[in-house]
């Protein structure tokens, strides 16, 4: 059954995109957190509502990078 599902192109392509997006998003989020903590900003403040625009920027950047990866 799984082999038949793997051959469906739209599902395979979407699954690959989602996997790459999660990977890129987690890595970029970790980098942003580490950099901000290195500068001395409180991590509780970084993950709160105050930093929501930052996380929106990270999400859109992750989508852009994932789209560039999936073009190939």
Q: What is the mean pLDDT of residues 48-65?
A: 88
Q: Cα torsion for 48, 25, 13, 65, to the nearest 10°? A: 120
Residue 8 placed within a domain: no
Q: Model confidence at 7, in pLDDT bands (50, 70, 90)?
A: low
Sole residue written with tokens 């789209």: 67
Q: What is the mean pLDDT of residues 7-16?
A: 76
Query: Does the global pTM surpass 0.75?
Result: yes
Residue 30 placed within a domain: yes
Beta strands in the chain (DSSP E): none
Residue 35 placed within a domain: yes
Structural domain range at position 55: 14-71
Domain count for the chain: 1
Residue 14 or residue 21, greater confidence: 21
Residue 19 placed within a domain: yes
pLDDT of res. 8: 66
Residue 24 placed within a domain: yes
Residue 9 placed within a domain: no
């Amino acid at each position: 059954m799984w082999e038949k599902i793997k051959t469906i192109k739209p599902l395979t392509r979407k699954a690959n995109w989602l996997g790459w997006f999660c990977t890129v998003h987690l890595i970029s989020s970790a980098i942003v957190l580490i950099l901000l903590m290195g500068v001395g900003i409180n991590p509780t403040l970084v993950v709160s509502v105050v930093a929501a625009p930052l996380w929106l920027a990270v999400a859109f950047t992750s989508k852009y990078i994932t789209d560039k990866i999936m073009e190939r």
